[in-house]
Structure 1
């Protein structure tokens, strides 16, 4: 009997509302609450050139499970979301599920289940 392999799914993330400008749209994928919002703790980070309107990225071959996504428009190319006073985003930002944000956003409000067949997730940027 052959050993079974875990199914792998693709996750397509479409980031909506990118405004005209320079830089990239960075999309970070998280698989746990611990370290959420800290890009160095993401499972994976993809970056694509920012174009006005919508951009998309695909995270390939993921195991089914619970994930959350953060996207931001890195207009100045410094690979981080610039914050005023360490709290207020100065660049476009968004989360999966587009939760209402009062204070630091949490993993659970943005989390979704990825099935073996894959999924599409939309993220709306807020400027």
Structure 2
């Protein structure tokens, strides 16, 4: 009944163009009813079912991962050649640098550990002349790369000859018994002091050439053994 009454009132309102209307039914008056009129588009929008809001999904948070500690290890710098050996020089004689009783060889360095055998006595010094791969300078006492003077020890004498860089070298040795800084020679330039060369090449009427005495030294260094002989030993055929 109420629905019918409401419909009648709405129709009255529409007919009269009023937003309010009064109705009487079976002699009974009903209270004022306010009617709000909407156009078709508004009614369609109002009646359209509302889409529920999408749930807000929080952004995934990556689990906290503690990065492993990384040691800042830098590779060792490449070696610089030629090495500066000047702080080790004891003196410079006629343009040739000299080291007297050098320090022991360093590991993993292009150093030459030398053992001298057949040292007759402990007088004076064992002299080692270092020659590079320039064959024209071989056995030229004024063209020596580096000279070592090691205190002589009877039997065997040990010392280190530091090299400016890895490479090919040759070494000439003599025993400077009287410590006069010379390789003493007598008549016909026959040596008066004991001598030897790297690789222990055979001696004859002339000294061995560079190719017979040359050897190669790597970056980690190497060891050689040189035997001393006298001119008399060579004449007797002990060193041929």
Q: TM over 0.5, yes or no?
A: yes
Partner of 2:219: 116
User: Alpha-carbon deviation of 1:84?
Assistant: 1.8
1:11–1:62 contact (8 Å) kept in structure 2? no
Q: Distance in 1 between matches of 2:117 and 2:154?
A: 9
Cα pair 1:67 1:111 within 8 Å, conserved: yes
Q: What is the number of equivalent residue pairs in this alignment?
A: 126
In the alignment, structure 1 residue 16 sits paired with structure 2 residue 125: no
- State the structure with bigger RCO (CA 8 A, min sep 6), 1 or 2: 1
Shift of 1:17: 0.9
Structure number with the higher strand fraction is 1
The runs of 5 or more residues in structure 2 that have no matched partner are 1-76, 82-108, 231-240
Alignment of structure 1 residues 45-84 onto 2, 5 Å: 45-84=147-186
Contact 1:17 1:53 in 2 (8 A): yes
Please give the root-mean-square deviation of Cα atoms over the aligned residues, in Å.
2.0
* Distance across 1 between alignment mates of 2:78 and 2:221: 19
Could you tell me the TM-score, scaled by structure 2's length?
0.49
Q: 1:61 to 1:98 in 2, by over 3 A?
A: closer
Match among 130, 135, 138 for residue 29 of structure 1: 130
| Partners of 1:39 and 1:45 within 8 A in 2 | no
Q: Which moved more, 1:80-89 or 1:113-122?
A: 80-89
Q: 2:141 aligns with which of 32, 39, 42?
A: 39
For the pair shown, the structure with the greater C-alpha radius of gyration is 2
Q: More displaced, 92-101 or 27-36? A: 27-36
Q: Which residue of 2 aligns with 1:100?
A: 202
Q: Which residue of 1 is the match for residue 49 of structure 2?
A: none
* Runs of 5+ consecutive residues of structure 1 not aligned to the other structure: none
Is the CA contact 2:171–2:198 (under 8 Å) kept in the aligned structure 1? yes
